[in-house]
A = this chain, B = another copy of it.
Amino acid sequence: MAPRSWPGVIEHYKRLLPVGDDTPRITLLEGNTPLIPSEHCHRRLGEGVRLFFKYEGVNPTCSFKDRGMTMAVSKAVEEGAQCTICASTGNTSAAAAAYSARAGIRSVVLIPDGYVALGKLAQALAYGARTIAVDGDFDDCLTLVREISDDYPVALVNSLNPYRIQGQKTAAFEVCDVLGGPPEFHALPVGNAGNITSYWLGYCEYKEQGVTDRLPHMLGFQAAGAAPIVTGERVDKPETIATAIRIGNPARWQEASAALAESDGRIEAVTDDEIVQAYRELSGEEGIFCEPASAASYAGLKKLAAEGFFAGRRCTVVATLTGHGLKDPDRAVATAPEPEKAPNDIDAVVGMLGLG
């Protein structure tokens, strides 16, 4: 009576991942996330557009980072690491802490002292990471974790860990497996650019393997205040409410540029207002609550549509929503109207609702 069903991304896609039979599977059964058809928002893109949302918010730690982290931590354990380390204030630290806990190894998260609200660290703390607030900025933390992982038996699980890209590419496999092939266009928020790099790798590998016979165009969207790839210039002080893509010097800049060029894709900037509007439409119309950064993919599609990009096209478009809205509940409260007040009286409430 062995359990059947989805075994997590490593076991399911092991033939296309750098793992052997002896590589431990440190898994929380991540992946296999829903590809939700748009019920309402697709109308804003054009009549011929079939739109799907790849909803990565329903991974175990509520973001796409779990795909990369199951690989990174499994390989770390295979290589004998007793500890993982990263500098992160968000989704990466949550995933690193969760998979390290699962593996029974230590997890260390470095953050700049005084810069990070404790609520942002709730997940890393819950999963038992040891968090250290360094008297320095984020770059100082990055330098420290690199040096420590170079000199000690500690696995670096920041963006530069190559196994994370390997794990994250499985999302492209899943899209193809569900649709029966790649979409014509795949839209993504772009921060560090690891995800667009990963999807492109996944799509290319499926084509090389003969699983699919063509490739999508990659559409990347950055926040206007943190759009180095769009402008071609590093941003020293990136600013956007979409914290998960608030990055001025992407770790995977070169790979993202290659993906855009090779796929004949596009990269554009969307404003915070456009992101918030998209975020509210996704939850209020589709019933899909995502992180603000996630909404950049749909915001960008709307922008392209307004420029006539989809006019006359019949095509399938997938937009990845990278994380769950519960990652940033304060934003939901801040962008919604406050509750109305009513007396304890049925006629009054019925009147307010326009039912009477």
Contact = CB atoms under 8 A, between A and B. Distances in A.
A36 B40 contact: no
- Which of A126, A324, A332 has most chain B Cβ within 10 Å? A126
Nearest to A338: B118
Given A140-B344, A349-B132, A287 B102 contact: yes
Contact of A284 (B37, B128, B135): B128
B37 A3 contact: yes
Given A52-B3, A152-B350, A326-B326, A344 B135 contact: yes
Copies of the protein in its oligomer: 2
A340 B131 contact: yes
B36 A122 contact: no
A180 interface: yes
Contacts of A125: 332-333, 336-337
A132 B352 contact: yes
A78 interface: no
Given A35-B3, A288-B28, A344 B136 contact: yes
Interface in A267-283: 280, 283
Interface in A40-99: 40, 52, 55, 58-62, 83, 97-99
Contacts of A35: 3, 5, 29
A18 interface: no
B39 A104 contact: yes
Nearest to A58: B58
Nearest to A8: B34
A316 interface: yes
A121 interface: yes
Contacts of A302: none
A166 B148 CA distance: 54
Contacts of A350: 148, 151-152
Interface string A124-146: 01111011111110001000100
Given A5-B35, A352-B132, A284 B127 contact: yes
Contacts of A311: none
A3 B179 contact: yes
25 contacts: A1-B179, A1-B181, A1-B316, A4-B177, A4-B178, A5-B35, A5-B177, A58-B59, A61-B289, A101-B284, A101-B287, A104-B285, A118-B339, A119-B333, A122-B329, A125-B333, A126-B289, A128-B336, A130-B353, A131-B339, A134-B344, A135-B341, A136-B344, A144-B346, A147-B346
Interface of A: 1-6, 28-29, 32, 34-37, 39-40, 52, 55, 58-62, 83, 97-102, 104, 108, 110-111, 113, 118-119, 121-123, 125-128, 130-136, 140, 144, 147-148, 151-154, 177-181, 280, 283-289, 316, 324-327, 329-330, 332-333, 336-344, 346, 349-350, 352-353, 355
9 closest cross-chain pairs (CB), A and B: A102-B287, A128-B284, A29-B34, A136-B344, A125-B336, A122-B329, A126-B332, A131-B339, A326-B326
